[in-house]
Amino acid sequence: MTALTNLLDLDPAQLVAYCGELGEKPFRAKQLQRWIHQFGASDFDAMTDLAKSLREKLKARATIAAPAVISDHISSDGTRKWLLDVGQGNAVETVFIPEENRGTLCVSTQAGCAVNCRFCSTGKQGFSRNLTVGEIIGQLWMAEFELRRSKGIEPGPKGERQITNVVMMGMGEPLLNFEPTVTALRLMLDDNAYGLSRRRVTVSTSGVVPMIDKLSQDCPVALAVSLHASNDPLRDGLVPLNKKYPLKDLMAACRRYLEFAPRDFITFEYCMLDGVNDTDTHARELVALVQNGAESVPCKFNLIPFNPFPESGLVRSNNVRIKAFAQVLIDAGIVTTIRKTRGDDIDAACGQLAGEVQDRTRVQERMQKMAEYQQKFGKNFGRIVEVPR
């Protein structure tokens, strides 16, 4: 028997091609896409405006399946974190951060990460594998419809959208899993799927220069660059990728990106590490880096207080230091924010996403448990997405 096609893996053009293979007209793909991405449907029988014959064909050949949810935690500040099973003992996390006027979903693009930044617990885990399109977009699909379900909001375009912004700041380096990331981005932007504005979708990268250029051509969205250092020797030690793509090249790539970007600035993320990169001298060096005549980069800074994890050997800068550092940038006319840490009580903060995953024996145990439950209660146990009726 041939494997079922997971329709979450297909972008709009691929879905049209798939429908073509089934002998169906392109408008069927649009209908199907709306059922999947606007109504959160996973049951072909629920797609009542599709001909019964098409539904039967789909039931025989296709599926709509996001990664199964292993756990689901809600923090006292409303931040919600899901741990998702991506097979073979690998798990990734998705975090929803509600704010007054928006809801942001932080998605993962890889299980583990090969870049191995010194301050990042995902990097410490090593690289397991790239996520598929279905596993990336499946995070948005699962989260949007689960959030609606928990609030009693109807699916479909009429129901109030819960996720207004997406940031690719979960586990993994999105630009090292380029094609699946871009396909997932296209679905996020598509009007027959999530219809998010390019300005509200952000790719965060540690600085994969050629892929920054490729993103500017293939699917320009807002760009965040994880800078973390004001000079090459310091950045070489914190973000090993810097040895391959040093600051001068990275800054040039940022300038090129802005010619195509939906925003007129790059967001630089800067993790505040006590005694490592947080002095006023570092801040002044940063100003000189980004305000450098013809080589300047229009930018905003987002200072992230380091989230410690046991074996890092690093310490978070204190608040007074972070504020003083920010002031140097602000005095130079650079818009600078200090990231609030959210979801601390559920380990949902930046760079802590791997917390639970690292302990693979625990993940294995949980999966064992889930398999037992599934045997008892049916295969949909562990998937919090129900079949809409």
Residues annotated catalytic, as ranges = 93, 350
* DSSP H or E run through 353: none
Residue 351 interacts with ligand SAH (CB under 6 A)?
A: yes
Binder among 40, 67, 103, 123 for ligand SF4 (CB under 6 A): 123
d(CA 82, CA 357): 12
Whether residue 247 contacts residue 234, with contact meaning beta carbons closer than 8 Å, is answered with: no
Smallest distance from the beta carbon of 122 to ligand SF4, in angstroms? 4
Kind of pairing, strands 299-305 and 335-338?
parallel
Helix, strand, or coil (residue 368):
helix
Smallest distance from the beta carbon of 221 to ligand SF4, in angstroms? 17
Smallest distance from the beta carbon of 105 to ligand SAH, in angstroms? 14
Name which of residues 309 to 338 contact ligand SAH (CB under 6 A).
Answer: none
Amino acid at 162: Q
Residue 245 interacts with ligand SAH (CB under 6 A)?
A: no
Q: Tokens at residue 238, please?
A: 């914190």
Query: Which of 57, 55, 42, 50 lies closest to 7 in space, CA to CA?
Result: 42
Q: Which is nearer to ligand SAH, 82 or 119 (CB)?
A: 119
Binding-site residue numbers are 113, 117, 120, 172-173, 204, 226-228, 307
Residue 370 interacts with ligand SF4 (CB under 6 A)?
A: no
Name which of residues 97 to 116 contact ligand SF4 (CB under 6 A).
Answer: 113, 115-116
Residue 117 interacts with ligand SF4 (CB under 6 A)?
A: yes
Residue 11 interacts with ligand SF4 (CB under 6 A)?
A: no
Smallest distance from the beta carbon of 98 to ligand SF4, in angstroms? 23
Name which of residues 58 to 117 contact ligand SAH (CB under 6 A).
Answer: 117
Whether residue 373 contacts residue 384, with contact meaning beta carbons closer than 8 Å, is answered with: no
Binder among 206, 230, 317, 336 for ligand SAH (CB under 6 A): 206
The pattern of x and - marking residues 225 through 254 that bind ligand SF4 according to CB under 6 A reads -x----------------------------
Q: Which is nearer to ligand SAH, 54 or 167 (CB)?
A: 167
Which does residue 307 bind out of ligand SF4, ligand SAH, none, counting CB within 5 to 8 angstroms by kind? ligand SAH
Binder among 226, 230, 242, 336 for ligand SAH (CB under 6 A): 226
Q: What DSSP state is assigned to residue 312?
A: G
Tell me the residue number closest to ligand SF4, measured at CB. Answer: 123
List strand residue ranges (DSSP E) for the chain, in order: 5-6, 62-63, 68-74, 80-85, 91-98, 103-106, 110-112, 127-130, 165-168, 201-205, 222-226, 266-272, 299-305, 335-338
Query: Which of 302, 378, 380 lies closest to 339 in space, CA to CA?
Result: 302
Please state, in angstroms and as integers, the Cα–Cα distance from residue 381 to each residue in 68, 69, 372, 377, 386, following that order.
Answer: 9, 9, 10, 6, 9
Q: How many residues belong to the site for ligand SAH (CB under 6 A)?
A: 16
Stretch that binds ligand SAH, among 124-132, 281-289, 304-312, 322-330 (CB under 6 A): 304-312
Amino acid at 186: R
Angle, CA 269 vertex, CA 267 and CA 326 arms, to 5°:
95
Helix, strand, or coil (residue 132):
coil
Helix, strand, or coil (residue 208):
coil
Residue 31 interacts with ligand SF4 (CB under 6 A)?
A: no
Residue 70 interacts with ligand SF4 (CB under 6 A)?
A: no
Smallest distance from the beta carbon of 77 to ligand SAH, in angstroms? 17
Q: Tokens at residue 217, please?
A: 């051509």
Residues that bind ligand SAH (CB under 6 A): 117, 119-120, 169, 173, 204-206, 226, 269, 271, 304, 306-307, 350-351
Residues that bind ligand SF4 (CB under 6 A): 113, 115-117, 120, 122-123, 172-173, 206, 226
